[in-house]
Chains A and B, each alone.
Chain A
Amino acid sequence: MTAETGAVAADGSARRWPPRVVTAGLAVILLALLLIPAVTTPRFLTLDNARAILASAAFVGITSVGATMVMIAGSGVSLATSQIATVVAMFFLGTQHLGLGAALLIALAAGVALNAFQGAVIGYWKADPIVLTIAGGFAIGGAATWFSGGTTVYPGARGFEVLNATPLGLPLAVYVLLAVTVVVEWTLRRTTAGRQMYLVGENRAAARAAGLPVGRVTVLAWAVSGACVALTGVFLASFTTSATVTLGGTLTLDAIAAVLVGGTAISGGHGSAVRTLGGAVLISVISDVLLLRGYSTGVQILVKGVLVLTVVLVVHVRSGRGRR
Chain B
Amino acid sequence: MSQPERGGPLLRVEGLAHAFNGVPAVQQVSFTVGAGQIHGLCGHNGAGKSTVVKMLSGQLAPDRGRIVIGGETVELRGRQAAQRAGVALVDQELSVVPALTVLDNMLLGDLGVPFVNRRRAAAARCRRILDDLGLERIDPDQPLSALGIGERQLVEIAKALGQNARLVILDEPTATFSDAESRHVFAAIRRVAATGCSVVFVSHRLAEVLDLCDVVTVLRDGRDVATGPAAGLTVDELITRMLGETSHRPSAARGPAQDPAHALRIENLRVPGRLGGFTLTAPAGRVHALAGQLGSGASDVLRALAGLHPGATGTAELRGRPVPLRDPVRAARGGVAFVSGDRKSEGLFLGKPSAWNLVATRLPALGRAGVLRPGHERRAARALAERSGLPGERLDDPVGTLSGGNQQKVFVGRCLENADVLALLLDEPTRGVDVGGRAAIHRLLRQAADSGLVVIFASTELEELLELGDVIVTMRDGRMVGRHEGDVDGALLMRDMTGGAEHA
| Residues of chain A at the chain B interface (Cβ within 8 Å) | 1, 4-5, 7-8, 10, 12-13, 15, 190-193, 195-196, 198-199, 202-203, 205-215, 269-270, 319, 322-323
Asked whether B329 is an interface residue with its Cβ less than 8 Å from the other chain, the reply is yes
Q: Are B372 and A12 in contact (CB under 8 A)?
A: no
Q: Which residues of B contact A5 (CB under 8 A)?
A: 374
Q: Are A192 and B367 in contact (CB under 8 A)?
A: yes
Q: Are B340 and A12 in contact (CB under 8 A)?
A: no
Asked whether B247 is an interface residue with its Cβ less than 8 Å from the other chain, the reply is no
Rounded to whole angstroms, the CA-CA distance of A12 and B396 in the bound complex is 8
Rounded to whole angstroms, the CA-CA distance of A199 and B378 in the bound complex is 17
Asked whether B314 is an interface residue with its Cβ less than 8 Å from the other chain, the reply is no
Smallest beta-carbon distance A152→chain B, Å: 43
Asked whether B307 is an interface residue with its Cβ less than 8 Å from the other chain, the reply is yes
Rounded to whole angstroms, the CA-CA distance of A210 and B414 in the bound complex is 10
Within the complex, which residue of B306, B340, B350, B377 is in contact with A323, where a contact is CB–CB below 8 Å? Answer: B350
Q: Are B306 and A199 in contact (CB under 8 A)?
A: no
Q: Are B331 and A199 in contact (CB under 8 A)?
A: no
Measured CB to CB, the nearest residue on chain A to B352 is A12
Q: Are B356 and A195 in contact (CB under 8 A)?
A: yes
Q: Are B363 and A209 in contact (CB under 8 A)?
A: no
Rounded to whole angstroms, the CA-CA distance of A270 and B349 in the bound complex is 12
Instruction: Known A10-B353, A192-B364, A209-B338; judge A15-B328 contact (CB<8 A).
Output: no
Q: Are B371 and A209 in contact (CB under 8 A)?
A: no
Q: Are A205 and B377 in contact (CB under 8 A)?
A: no
Q: Which of A12, A13, A215 has the most CB of B within 10 A?
A: A12
Within the complex, which residue of B329, B351, B356 is in contact with A212, where a contact is CB–CB below 8 Å? Answer: B329
Q: Are B372 and A195 in contact (CB under 8 A)?
A: yes
Rounded to whole angstroms, the CA-CA distance of A319 and B400 in the bound complex is 12
Smallest beta-carbon distance B431→chain A, Å: 15
Smallest beta-carbon distance A94→chain B, Å: 35
Given contacts A7-B374, A192-B371, A211-B306, 14 further A-B contacts (CB under 8 A): A7-B353, A7-B378, A7-B395, A12-B353, A15-B401, A192-B370, A202-B352, A203-B346, A203-B349, A210-B360, A212-B332, A212-B360, A270-B351, A322-B398
Q: Which 3 A-B pairs have the closest CB atoms?
A: A211-B332, A202-B349, A192-B363
Q: Are A208 and B328 in contact (CB under 8 A)?
A: yes
Rounded to whole angstroms, the CA-CA distance of A193 and B348 in the bound complex is 18
Rounded to whole angstroms, the CA-CA distance of A212 and B351 in the bound complex is 17
Q: Are A212 and B361 in contact (CB under 8 A)?
A: yes
Q: Give per-residue flags for B19-43: 1 if the beta carbon is below 8 A from chain A beta carbons, else 0.
A: 0000000000000000000000000
Within the complex, which residue of A195, A209, A212 is in contact with B340, where a contact is CB–CB below 8 Å? Answer: A209
Rounded to whole angstroms, the CA-CA distance of A208 and B400 in the bound complex is 19
Q: Give per-residue flags for B354-376: 1 if the beta carbon is below 8 A from chain A beta carbons, else 0.
A: 01100011011001001110110
Smallest beta-carbon distance B325→chain A, Å: 13
Q: Are B351 and A322 in contact (CB under 8 A)?
A: yes
Rounded to whole angstroms, the CA-CA distance of A242 and B350 in the bound complex is 49
Asked whether B333 is an interface residue with its Cβ less than 8 Å from the other chain, the reply is yes
| Residues of chain B at the chain A interface (Cβ within 8 Å) | 306-308, 328-329, 331-333, 336-338, 340, 345-353, 355-356, 360-361, 363-364, 367, 370-372, 374-375, 377-378, 395-396, 398, 400-401, 414
Rounded to whole angstroms, the CA-CA distance of A209 and B415 in the bound complex is 12
Q: Which residues of B contact A199 (CB under 8 A)?
A: 349, 352, 356, 360
Q: Are B363 and A195 in contact (CB under 8 A)?
A: yes
Instruction: Known A8-B374, A192-B371; judge A205-B329 contact (CB<8 A).
Output: no
Within the complex, which residue of A192, A198, A206, A211 is in contact with B329, where a contact is CB–CB below 8 Å? Answer: A211
Rounded to whole angstroms, the CA-CA distance of A190 and B374 in the bound complex is 8
Measured CB to CB, the nearest residue on chain B to A265 is B351
Task: Supply 26 A–B pairs (Cβ within 8 Å), ascending by A.
Answer: A7-B353, A7-B355, A7-B395, A10-B396, A15-B401, A190-B371, A191-B367, A191-B371, A195-B356, A202-B352, A203-B345, A203-B349, A203-B350, A205-B346, A210-B328, A210-B332, A210-B360, A210-B361, A211-B306, A211-B328, A213-B329, A270-B351, A319-B351, A322-B351, A323-B350, A323-B351
Q: Which residues of B contact A210 (CB under 8 A)?
A: 328, 332, 338, 360-361, 414
Instruction: Known A191-B370, A269-B351, A323-B350; judge A211-B333 contact (CB<8 A).
Output: yes
Within the complex, which residue of B361, B377, B398 is in contact with A12, where a contact is CB–CB below 8 Å? Answer: B398
Smallest beta-carbon distance B130→chain A, Å: 38
Measured CB to CB, the nearest residue on chain A to B331 is A211
Q: Which residues of A contact B329 (CB under 8 A)?
A: 211-215
Measured CB to CB, the nearest residue on chain B to A215 is B329
Rounded to whole angstroms, the CA-CA distance of A12 and B350 in the bound complex is 10
Within the complex, which residue of B333, B351, B364, B367 is in contact with A202, where a contact is CB–CB below 8 Å? Answer: B351
Measured CB to CB, the nearest residue on chain A to B307 is A211
Rounded to whole angstroms, the CA-CA distance of A1 and B333 in the bound complex is 33
